[in-house]
Amino acid sequence: MIGLILISTFWITGFVYAYLAAFTAVFYRGKPISELSMIERKIAKGEATFLQKIGFFIWSLFLTTFFPPAYIIAILVALIFYVFTVIF
């Protein structure tokens, strides 16, 4: 049960991270323009097309498999969810 919860929370965390990276400028505020990639600049300025955003979303979703904070967040959410299901 905990394995299924962990896997599902990992994918949900990755999906949310990829969505925020591709469709919002949340991660790019306060960063210098020189540190952003071309697509990140376009997303931050609001100039990216829908296809560019979709492509970046898929790329970001793939990269979450190598992103340690996604694992940490998924483990914490899974443990909290598991504890609540056991207690209640």
Summarised one tens digit per residue, pLDDT across range 73-83 is 888 888 888 88
Record the tokens describing residue 80, joined without a space.
């909290």
| SS3 (DSSP) at 66 | helix
Q: Are 55 and 23 in contact (CB under 8 A)?
A: no
Domain span holding position 60: 2-87
pLDDT in tens, 1-50: 777 888 888 888 899 999 999 999 999 998 998 999 999 999 999 999 99
Among the listed residues 78, 77, 76, 66, the one whose alpha carbon sits nearest the alpha carbon of residue 18:
66
**Neighbouring residues of 19: CB distance < 8 A, sequence distance ≥ 6:** 57
How many structural domains are present in the chain? 1
Q: Which residues contact 88 (CB under 8 A, 6 or more apart)?
A: none
